[in-house]
Amino acid sequence: MQFQRPSIRRSRSRRSILGVPRNLTASSNASAPAGPQGAAPGPAGRQDLDLVLAHRATQGFTRATLQDIRSAGRAAWIDEQLNPQLIPDPAADGFVARFPSVSMSLPDLHANFGTSALEPCEHLQQVCVARSVLSERQLLERVVEFWHDHFNVDQLETVRGRLFFTAYDRDTIRQHALGRFEDLLVSVAKSPAMSAYLDGDVNIVGAANENFGREVMELHTLGVDGPYTEDDVKEISRCFTGWRYGYWQEANPGDFFFDAADHDFGPKTVLGVQLPGGGGVQDGLDMLHMLAVHPKTLDYVSRKLVGWLSGAEPPQAAVDRIIAVWQATNGDLREIVREALSDETLQLCAATTQLKLKRPFHFGIGLMRQLGAVTSDDFLGAARIFELVGQRPYVWGTPDGYPDTLLAWGSDVNGRWAYATNLINGGLPGLEIPTSALTALGGSVPNQFLARRLALEMAGGLIPEAEVARVQQYIGTRPFSDQVLRDAAALIAASPGYQFY
Partner 1 sequence: MPRIAFSANRGSGGGTQRDVLINVFLRGGMDGLSAVVPYGDPDYASSRGPLAIPGPSSGNGSVDLDGTFCLSPSAAPLHTPYADGRLLVVHAAGAPVHTLSHFDGMRRWETATPAGSALPLSEGWVSRHLDTIQPLGSGTVRALSLSALLPWTLTGAPGAIPIAVPPTFSFPGEAATADDRRQVLADMYAPQPAPLGPAAVSALDALDQVGGVQFFGYTPSNGAAYPGGPFGGGLRAVATMLKAGLDLECCVVDIDGWDHHVQMGPLNGTYAGMLDTFARSLEAFYLDLKNSGIRYTLVAHSEFGRRIAPNLSDGCDHGFGNAMFLMGDGIAGGRVLTQWPGLAPSNLNEGDLDVTIDYRDVLTEIAERRLGSPDAGPLFPGHTATNLGVTI
Give one DSSP letter per residue of 196-218, joined into a string.
Answer: HHTTGGG-BTTB---HHHHHHHH
CA distances from residue 488 to 91, 345, 385, 436 in whole angstroms, order as listed: 29, 35, 23, 16
* Binding residues among 392-411 for partner 1 as defined by CB under 8 A: 397-398, 400, 403, 406-411
Amino acid letter at 41? P
Nearest to 388 by CA among 425, 430, 424, 360: 360
Q: Assess 388 for contact with partner 1 (CB under 8 A).
A: yes
Among 390, 429, 434, 443, binds partner 1 (CB under 8 A): 390
**Residues 141, 169, 432, 487: which binds partner 1 (CB under 8 A)?**
487
Sign of CA dihedral 157, 140, 178, 312: positive
Output 128 or 423, the one with its CB closest to partner 1.
423
Asked if 418 is part of the footprint of partner 1 (rule: CB under 8 A), the reply reads yes
Beta carbons within 8 Å of 390's beta carbon, 6+ residues apart: 360, 409, 412, 415
- Looking at the Cβ atoms of 112 and 425, the one nearer to partner 1 is 425
Closest CA to 450 of 497, 499, 491: 491
> Which parts of 66-125 interact with partner 1 (CB under 8 A)?
none
188-217 residues in contact with partner 1 (CB under 8 A) are 199, 202, 204, 206-207, 209-211, 214
- Closer to partner 1 at the Cβ: 18 or 204? 204
Asked if 213 and 237 touch (Cβ cutoff 8 Å), the reply is yes
Near partner 1 by CB under 8 A, which window of 40-48, 179-187, 375-383, 389-397?
389-397
CB atoms < 10 A from the CB of 303, how many?
Answer: 18
C-alpha 54/C-alpha 60 separation (Å) is 8
Report whether 170 contacts 102 (CB < 8 A): yes
Which of 301, 322, 325, 313 lies closest to 349, judged by CA?
Answer: 313
# of chain residues touching partner 1 (CB under 8 A): 55
Q: Mask 13-52, x = binds partner 1 (CB under 8 A)?
A: ----------------------------------------
Give the whole-angstrom CA distance, residue 435 versus residue 75: 36
Pick the binder of partner 1 from 218, 264, 299, 339 (CB under 8 A): 218
Please select the residue that binds partner 1; options are 24, 40, 44, 224, rule is CB under 8 A. Answer: 224
Torsion sign over Cα 88, 90, 96, 100? positive
Residues from 133 through 162 that contact partner 1 (CB under 8 A): 158
**Whole-number minimum distance, CB 481 to partner 1, in Å?**
11
Q: Which stretch binds partner 1 (CB under 8 A): 162-170, 329-337, 365-373, 391-399?
A: 391-399
Q: How far is the CB of 406 from partner 1 (least distance, A)?
A: 7
User: Counting contacts by CB under 8 A, is residue 414 touching partner 1?
Assistant: yes
Give CA–CA dist 470/464, Å, rounded. Answer: 10
Q: What are phi and psi of 270, to 5 degrees?
A: -130, 125
Query: For residues 104 and 219, which CB has a smaller minimum distance to partner 1 in the complex?
Result: 219
One of 73, 100, 227, 427 touching partner 1 (CB under 8 A): 427
C-beta of 485: minimal distance to partner 1 in Å? 13
- Which of 40-48, 66-74, 104-112, 489-497 is the region at the interface with partner 1 (rule: CB under 8 A)? 489-497
Asked if 285 and 186 count as a contact pair (C-beta separation under 8 A), the reply is: yes
State which of positions 310-369 bind partner 1 (CB under 8 A).
357
Could you give the C-alpha distances from 82 to 48, 93, 171, 185, in angstroms and in order? 21, 18, 18, 20
Amino acid identity of 207? A
Q: 25, 116, 230, 272: which one contacts partner 1 (CB under 8 A)? A: 230
Residues that bind partner 1 (CB under 8 A): 158, 199, 202, 204, 206-207, 209-211, 214, 218, 224-225, 230, 233, 357, 387-391, 397-398, 400, 403, 406-415, 417-418, 421-422, 425, 427, 466-467, 470-471, 473-474, 483, 487, 490-491, 494-496, 499
